[in-house]
Amino acid sequence: MPGDPLRARWIADTFLDDARCYTEVRGMYGYTGTWQGQRVSVQGSGMGQPSMAIYVNELFREYDVRSIIRVGSCGALSERLAVRDIVIASGACTDSAMNRIRFEGLDYAPVADFGLLRGAHDAATAKQLAEGVHVGLIFSSDSFYPARPELAARMVEFGVLAVEMEASALYTLAAKHGRRALTICTVSDHIVTGEETSAQEREQTFGTMVEIALAAGLAQD
């Protein structure tokens, strides 16, 4: 489940056999095909937790999807990471009010499914990617252009690796519905160094995380 619908189309064209487009509603492409003989769907989610939540709720409730792996881009917050490194998110911090409303002010800790997390780590290890793959916390922000960017430094002090905009909602809804979820992101830009990739690179060259996601999902089936 990438955020970018064009990345969904690229994933279907690049990795799936006999892929067919099942939806183009609002330009949010979805495809179903096979990978190594197993049926796989790829569905765009749009940007941000509200958009992600719409698609995830409907996939879980109306289509009985059992597991969702987000394959997205993120901004590195730590100097430990480099552009094009991969982050497998064990948990998701957030500045969103969605869970504060849901839990009436209590702090809920949205975490990944351990089986998918382990499968992704095993797949990355099999590809001998240990140096460029990081497992840890991610920060799901509601703001692409934050009003208080200095607050990200506090997150880094407590172990947060990178920032994106969807994982917290995905993990929370998976827990609500008793389903499995994982977020795997490729570092598209570095908040500390200023290095960044192009829009086309973000759409079409982050294939390694897709291969890790497919292997992790297949291992659970």
The whole-angstrom separation of Cα 204 and Cα 95 is: 29
Rg (CA), the chain: 16
What's the whole-model pTM score?
0.94
What pLDDT is recorded for position 213?
97
Q: Which residues, given as ranges, of the chain have pLDDT below 50?
A: none
What pLDDT is recorded for position 151?
85
Choosing from 95, 122, 142, 189, the catalytic residue is 189
Residue 27 per-residue DSSP state: G
The whole-angstrom separation of Cα 45 and Cα 80 is: 29
Cβ count near 61 (within 10 Å): 11
What pLDDT is recorded for position 202?
79
What pLDDT is recorded for position 91?
98
Is 85 an active-site residue?
no
Residue whose C-alpha is closest to residue 203's, from 182, 181, 188, 184: 188
What pLDDT is recorded for position 200?
81
Domains parsed from the chain with CATH numbers: 67-220 (3.40.50.1580)
